Structure 1
Amino acid sequence: MFEIIRRIGAITRLMQIDSNQHFKALGLNNNLFIYIIRVVEQPGMFLAELADSVQIDRTTSFRTVKKLVAAGYLTLQNDELNLKIKRIYPTEKAQLLYPQLHAYEMAKSQDLLVNLTTAEQAQLKRLLRKLQVNGQKV
């Protein structure tokens, strides 16, 4: 069974290598593009929500957001009710880039799943939902 986990890890690494090369010219290597996709799709989420969304610890996520703010892709705004909470919004630069990022993500997903039937894809989705790490669903 350990072979399954190794296979998932190998797939993840190969996709990271490809995305890092693909987005390097935009300064979005190291999976920075994923943050932009999430924020464009869910503008106004707060930092902890984004960290949970990309499955990264909050400190690393905050540092990454700061880089993307400095690069002009994201903005941080105080929550209207709780000033301790910072909400994240995409800039126009991020919104203009989003179609390219989303198209890349869709193309890579299709490439990965090309040999699976629709039924097999649905089954894989169901099975992956059952996985957990440290007692928590992923």
Structure 2
Amino acid sequence: MEDVLRSIGKISRALDAISNIDFQNIDLTKGQYLYLVRICENPGIIQGRLAELVMVDRTTVSQAIKKLVNNGFITRQHSETNLKNYELYPTAKGTAIYPRLKRENAYSTDKALQGFSKAEAQQLAAFLERMTVNVNEDWKSVKAGVPRDY
């Protein structure tokens, strides 16, 4: 069963590498497109919630946000309800390229699911969602300092 996670990792790395190359000409690199998509889909999202959505640490998100701000794709605004938080919003530049990012995602999804029936694709999506929930529990525990018992 170890091969399942290896395959998922292999697919993820390949698609990430492809996207990084595809988006170089619009100044999106190193997975920044992932954060921009989530911000476009959730205008006003705070950094901590964004980190949870993509399951990375806050430092990684912070670095990506800084680059997205510097390249004019997003803005950061103090939250009116909690001044410690910054809300993230796409700029006109970020909003303009969002459809291209969605088209790339749809193309990659179609390519990855080529040869699958609709029922198989739905079943795979359900299985992957269950796996995500399972892994998320450990991710949150480990991030809170609780070691896993192998």
1:133 to 132, 135, 139: 135
| Structure 2: distance between partners of 1:54 and 1:133 | 12
C-alpha distance in structure 2 between counterparts of 1:8 and 1:83, whole Å: 39
CA deviation string 1:38-73 (max 9, x = no partner): 111110010111111122111110111011001100
Runs of 4+ residues deviating >4 angstroms: none
Cα separation, 1, equivalents of 2:123 and 2:98: 29
| Amino acid paired to 2:6 | R
Q: TM-score if structure 2 supplies the norm length? A: 0.87
The 1:34–1:67 alpha-carbon spacing in structure 2 relative to 1, beyond 3 Å, is same
User: How far apart in 1 are the matches of 2:29 and 2:136?
Assistant: 29
Separation (CA, whole Å) in 2 of partners of 1:2 and 1:117: 25
SS where residue 76 of structure 1 aligns?
A: strand
Cross-structure match for 1:98: 98
Q: Map of 1:1-138 to 2, 5 A cutoff?
A: 1-131=1-131, 132-133=134-135, 135-136=137-138
Aligned length: 138
- 2:86 maps to a residue whose letter is K
SS of aligned partner of 1:30: coil
Percent same amino acid at aligned positions? 35
